[in-house]
Structure 1
Amino acid sequence: MNILTDVFVELFKMFVTDLRLTIATLAAVVLVALLLAYENLPPLFAGVLLLVLCVAILFEAVFRETRIRTKRH
């Protein structure tokens, strides 16, 4: 039981540490889901859109972290 608690604590810390990344990813997923549900977006296009959004979010997070770390040194 202790291992499960440790795993959940680490997962929680991982998502809360970079709240901007978490919120942006959730927003991308919600946006694509809404487009699929209400705009009859083709699933292939929705998948490509989700991929592009997630990669853009990842690049933004990496560039932001790089700027922060270079300012420290």
Structure 2
Amino acid sequence: MEVQRHTYYRLIHHGIKSLLVDRIGHFTELEYHEYLNGMTGKSCCFAMSDDELRFTVDSLRSEGYLEDLKHVI
């Protein structure tokens, strides 16, 4: 089964939120977009290709920030 784009959006948002809370102790939408831009060169998921979405999810998963959503991936 292929994961749909909106599912990738949710996974990425959840993963980056978890990462930011873990690393800096809090989360804001601005920090989310800044981190995503640093990671992918794009500040929103809508502008990302399917390959970029997969890469981002794979990166977050490999760092352990999507463990609680393993069943979705």
State TM-score, norm by structure 2: 0.37
Between 1 and 2, higher relative CO (CA 8 Å, sep ≥ 6) is seen in 2
Which protein is richer in helix relative to its size?
1
Bigger Rg, structure 1 or 2: 1
State TM-score, norm by structure 1: 0.37
